[in-house]
Structure 1
Amino acid sequence: MALGLFRVCLVVVTAVINHPLLFPRENTTVPENEEEIIRKMQAHQERLQLERLRLEEEVAQLAAEEAPEQRGAEESQQQQHDTRTAWDLWSTLCMILFLMIEVWRQDHHQDEPSPECLAADEDELPGQEGAPLPGLTLPSKSTLGHFYERCIRGATADAARTREFVEGFVDDLLEALRSLCNRDADMEVEDFIGVDSMYENWQVDKPLLCQLLVPFTPPEPYHFHPELWCSRRSQPLDRQGYGRIQVARADEDALGCVCGKTKLGEDMLCLLHSKPRGEAAGELLCAPDSPYLDALLVMKWFQTALTRAWHRIAHKYDFDLAFGQLDTPGSLKIKFRSGKCMPFNLIPAVQCEDSDLYFVSHLAREPPLASGTDWLLSFAVYERRFLRMTSKALPEGACHLSCLQIASFLLSKQSRLTGPSALGSFHLKTALLHLLLARRPADWKAAQLDVRLHELLRFLEKSLLEKKLHHFFMGNRKVPASLGLPEAVRQAEPLNLFRPFVLQRSLYRKTLDSFYEMLKNAPALISEYSLHGSADPAGPPHKAGVL
């Protein structure tokens, strides 16, 4: 009897220890669906029942061998009754135990990062900052509201005037650029498109910065043929969201002219192109010996064209124009006589077919391009459209943009304190877009500002711990079809924006430490600025070049 009870206890303890949710191993993973968990628990239960039947037989045999022959049938029946009672008790305890495990999983599995992530990166997490958000105490609603009104709303009150001034000047600058271009040989510049925080009404950082896409097209009879990389079967994971732009003639197929498939001499003329291929490719800003548009050549062309255009209209304005950052095309800065500066960015872009997707030569949040023919895919127009569409369904005075502004303000202050990290305002906006899609419109009332802000920060922490933050549009089938997103993008595989953290351990540690430091400083920072107001400096100076 004692041996049987010991074996039962051993089986129960083994089942509990081997349960993946209570004692995760380094290479174990949490099942992705409930059916898999139920199936495994049923298999555990069946094994326990079989073990119970086998042990009952062994106990009965031991009892028959050890019991004296003079014991009556009444004692034997009593012993069997006691054995069954003990087994029933242990079986009941096992079922209760597994039921408690299942209830615990339902309550906590959705809110906690997967055990495999925590186990794999346990040495990278700060020892004293393991779970700061449950203990994060934001200031009272009145303090938070006062902080927003005094430090954020007041700081962005002149955003409309800034946009109006910059747009008027850029219109004049681009018109001068067009007048200097040869329409039969040069790229044709179209009207600009305002994107990002200044046009989504959540700009916080000073000075106010306008981001303007400037689409351009090739001269006739050429046209652009974009190649979008959405599938990892065609490109590696780190190139998802990129693409190439092929330059072709209107009377050619996508593979190019026949002269590209024939070995012609250097001085041989193509009757269709009417000039040597090397000369034609150079004029169309293609990479050497390639039909694909070179982003580096486009950047140089754009800077040169802007310089010529400014020299043509400079006499009309009482200020100077300079490049803000020499390694970024279109990063411009208006310098007034008073010493005040007004920066803005003009970003050369190529429209992706008939959609509102644009290939751009650069983005501030992205590392330098590995190849000159690789172009980044910008969803900025769709981001602005989604926020505008969502705002129509939200209550009046909804707090969604307020949450984004406060989080961006805290991140900006932390970056100036400890230096920039891999976490940027684009990641904050991505997290907000996910929450907007997941929550009901009624959850974004103005009175819920503190709750939604806490939820946004918690979402970011969970994403950092799991090293997983999916791009909002790429591969997201929950995005409303009315947004007009191309079906190839909706059906693509999800793009993880935090994938670099998997390989770059030092960058991940620095970003995580900076994030936790920001959370630690947030309550005191909000309280202090709500009392004394905010006067953001213009930020560190950049190397500039006068046009």
Structure 2
Amino acid sequence: MKAAVLLFVLLKSLIHYPQLVGDAQDEETRHHMEVRAKQLEWERIRMEQEVEQLSLKQSGRAWGDLLCFSIHPWQAWAVAGLLVLLLRLYFYWKKRSHEAEDSGEEDGEDPVLDNDLRWLIQEHIQWPVLDLQKGCERTTDLMDNYTVYFGHVLANSFYPGLKRAIGVGSAFEGWSPREQDVVYQVLIPMTPPRGHSFHLELDSAEQRQGRNFRVRVQLECTCSKEQQAENMLCFLHHPEEELRSNQDPSLLDTLCTNSYLDVQKTARWFYQLVRAIWPALPQSHNWHLKLLPSRRSCQFQVTNGRKTFRIEILFGVRRGDSHIFVSSQPGCAGTPSTLWPESYAVAEVKFFQHIARRAPPDSLHLRCLQLFTRLQLGIGFSTYTMKTIVMHLLNTVPVSQWRRRDFLRRLGDINVNLRCCLEKKHLSHFVIGNKRFPRQIRLPLDITSAEPPNLFHHLARHPSVHSQAMSEYQDLQYRLASVLLNGH
């Protein structure tokens, strides 16, 4: 946005708002601001016409978007607060300008807009103090040690083979909406044990959220491999009596229900495995392990008296050679234990890694995402909704335009996209059917060619839910205005 446009907006606020005064006149000032707030709706229309005459370009539009969200009767006071913030920024800029003149510095190319203003607002916000990189490194080291012992313990068993854990979720993507209680989530790929094979079957029942699969476990003939398998008996061709006497049960008899791999049985088995192996790990000397309840994953925390890390282990089966899995992640309420929801977590974390490799050093795309997901906590919008909107923008807006100088512009983009999606009652899934998805991230053909599901389908089906969502959006705008004004 050009300096003239900013000065235009600031001058409008100076003309129509009382100047900063002493304590004795605070009550009168508040009264004038309340009266002025009631006139903001028609004033907005006139301002837009005047701004159009200034040939406002892209950066200016972002400021307009960021302010426009609250110029409604139900939030006129929020705009008043933002304009007060602009007034403060104006005096700050004026002071910096005088200092620059006194020191003989030349006025650069709109330094106020490109540097001071964005820097001041960015630094004004109280960001959560997180050290996600260190937490991810500790989690990765711990899971790598576990993987080594998984291999030793399960080498000659008929339980699933466990591959190296893959970090997924917000922490491994580089952001988190919470200052505390960060969950470091990993997914462990499972492979069938010897004499078994996995076959994924798409559940035909209509599902409201995502797709579910069943993992059918099938016994395979090992007669031709007996010499290689060290006295392994074939589950298909040896007598049951001999099998019961000389060999451990097959996977069908341990972790399956009606020939399908059971999520809850697998989770209980994981808990036993994690507890049994823990004393052998180097981390056990300085850290304390506490297992946490969960029916479809393995959750625990490790503590050394000063720091605590919470880890969730998901387990899944890869779809072919793609980056898509069916996993033990929680599904809809009442999901049968033999259903495994399709997971896009690995593909999404690889997408954020793809962006990070191309982003400039001062890119703020993760901070924008973190800000909006933090604001919506307790309102009703899911974290995944905000993440989906930001991912769509990252896939369309060049990464070079997410730098510090673009901070306000991108906040405006996110806000406007959320508003438009709510009004249209439609938000497309980011991975499924996305023709612009990076090709180096492998997807199954049926996902690439599918019609993107509408994550806001429930808003279209239930008018009362849509009304509630619009009300929650208003609350979100209040929080955003409060952050920009007060920093928290």
- Name the TM-score class by shorter chain: 0.5 to 0.7
- For the residue of structure 1 that corresponds to 2:432, the secondary structure is coil
For residue 457 of structure 2, what is the amino acid of its counterpart? R
Give matches, 1:427-438, under 5 Å: 427-438=385-396
In structure 2, C-alpha distance between the alignment counterparts of 1:361 and 1:458, rounded to whole Å? 34
- What secondary structure is seen at the aligned counterpart in 2 of 1:297? helix
Which of the residues 283, 289, 297 maps onto 2:253?
Answer: 283
**Residue 215 of structure 1, aligned match among 185, 189, 193:** 189
Structure 2 residue runs without a partner (length 5+) = 1-71, 87-112, 223-234
1:297 counterpart residue number: 265
The percent identity for this pair of structures is 21
SS at match of 2:430: coil
What is aligned with 1:375? 340
Q: How does 1:31-70 map to 2 (within 5 A)?
A: none
1:165 and 2:138 are equivalent in the alignment: yes
3-state SS in 2 of match to 1:349: strand
Q: Secondary structure at the match of 1:212?
A: strand
The alpha carbon displacement at 1:499 in A equals 2.3
Which residue in 2 is equivalent to 1:407? Answer: 372
2: CA distance between counterparts of 1:132 and 1:359?
48
Task: Report whether the alignment pairs 1:386 with 2:351.
Answer: yes
Does structure 1 retain, via aligned residues, the 8 Å contact 2:210–2:341? no
The question of 1:317 aligning with 2:285 is answered yes
Q: Which runs of 5+ in 1 are unaligned?
A: 1-126, 253-268, 531-547
For each residue in 1:406-432, what CA deviation from the matched residue of structure 2 results, as whole angstroms up to 9, or x when unmatched? 1122123xx2xx6xx2x2222111111
Q: Measure the CA separation in 1 of the matches of 2:407 and 2:154.
A: 51
Q: CA deviation at 1:154?
A: 6.5
Whole-Å Cα distance in 2 between the matches of residues 164 and 202 of structure 1?
Answer: 15
- 1:395–1:248 Cα change, 3 Å: same
CA–CA distance in structure 1, aligned partners of residues 365 and 239 of structure 2: 54
Give 2:314's aligned residue: 347
Task: Measure the CA separation in 1 of the matches of 2:446 and 2:208.
Answer: 18
Report the Cα distance in structure 1 between the residues aligned to 2:191 and 2:428, rounded to whole angstroms.
32
- Aligned-pair distance for 1:165? 2.0
Shift of 1:375: 0.9
Over 3 Å counting, the alpha-carbon distance change for 1:443 and 1:345 in structure 2 is same
Give, in whole Å, the separation in 1 of the partners of 2:124 and 2:411. 18
In the alignment, does 2:414 pair up with 1:456?
A: yes
Residue 323 of structure 2 aligns with which residue?
356
CA distance in 2, matches of 1:136, 1:189: 55
- Cα deviation for residue 169 of structure 1 reads 2.3
CA deviation string 1:290-344 (max 9, x = no partner)? 2221212212222222222225549942332113344452221123334x43212
Check conservation: 1:209, 1:344, Cα contact below 8 A.
Answer: yes
TM-superposed CA distance for 1:346, in Å, is 1.2
Q: Is 1:447 equivalent to 2:421 in the alignment?
A: no
Contact 1:332/1:344 (8 A) holds in 2? yes
- For residues 323-334 of structure 1, the aligned pairs below 5 Å read 323-327=291-295, 329-334=297-302
The superposition leaves residues 76-104 of structure 1 with CA deviations (integer Å, 9 ceiling, x where unpaired) of xxxxxxxxxxxxxxxxxxxxxxxxxxxxx
Residue 487 of structure 2 aligns to a residue whose secondary structure is: helix
The answer to whether the 8 Å contact 1:177/1:308 transfers is: no
SS at match of 1:215: strand
| TM-score where L is the length of structure 2 | 0.66
Deviation at 1:220, TM superposition (A): 0.4
1:360 positional shift: 1.0
Deviation at 1:519, TM superposition (A): 1.2
Task: Give matches, 1:145-544, under 5 Å.
Answer: 145-146=119-120, 148-149=122-123, 155-156=129-130, 158-181=131-154, 183-207=156-180, 208-228=182-202, 234-238=204-208, 240-251=210-221, 270-271=236-237, 274=240, 275=243, 280=250, 282-287=252-257, 290-313=258-281, 316-327=284-295, 329-338=297-306, 340-363=307-330, 366-412=331-377, 415=378, 421=380, 423-503=381-461, 508-529=466-487
Provide the C-alpha distance between the structure 2 equivalents of 1:132 and 1:175, rounded to a whole number of angstroms.
59
> 1:342, 1:165 → 2: CA distance?
9
Q: Quick one: distance in 2 between partners of 1:429 and 1:320?
A: 33
C-alpha contact 2:291 2:301 (8 A) present in aligned 1: yes
Q: Secondary structure at the match of 2:260?
A: coil
Distance in structure 2 (CA, Å) of the matches to 1:337 and 1:399: 34
AA paired with 1:427? T
Query: Residue 256 of structure 1 corresponds to which residue in structure 2?
Result: none
Distance 1:388 1:319 in 2: 30
- Separation (CA, whole Å) in 2 of partners of 1:147 and 1:212: 35
Maintained 8 Å contact 1:200/1:384 = yes
| Per-residue CA distance 1:368-406 (angstroms, 9 max, x = gap) | 352222111111222122233234444552332221121
1:202 shift after superposition? 2.0
Q: What TM-score do you get using the length of structure 1 for normalisation? A: 0.59
TM-align CA RMSD: 3.5
Deviations 1:490-511 (A, max 9, x none): 1112212222344566655544
Corresponding residue pairs, total: 370
Alpha carbons of 1:128 and 1:244: their partners in 2 closer, same or farther (altered >3 Å)? farther
Name the CA shift for 1:143/1:201 in 2 (closer, same or farther; >3 Å).
Answer: farther
Query: For 1:397 and 1:380, how far apart are their aligned partners in 2?
Result: 26
- Taking a change above 3 Å as real, the CA distance of residues 144 and 299 of structure 1, as seen in their structure-2 partners, is farther
Deviation at 1:221, TM superposition (A): 1.8
Answer whether contact 1:148 1:406 (CA < 8 A) is retained: no
Match of 2:256, SS state, is: coil
For 1:299, the aligned partner's letter is A
Aligned equivalents of 1:392 and 1:160: distance in 2? Answer: 16
Structure with bigger gyration radius: 1
Cα offset for 1:227?
Answer: 2.9
| Alpha-carbon separation, structure 2, partners of 1:306 and 1:516 | 45
**Residue deviations 1:46-101 (CA, integer Å, cap 9, x gap):** xxxxxxxxxxxxxxxxxxxxxxxxxxxxxxxxxxxxxxxxxxxxxxxxxxxxxxxx
Aligned to 1:24: none
Q: Partner letter of residue 292 of structure 2?
A: G
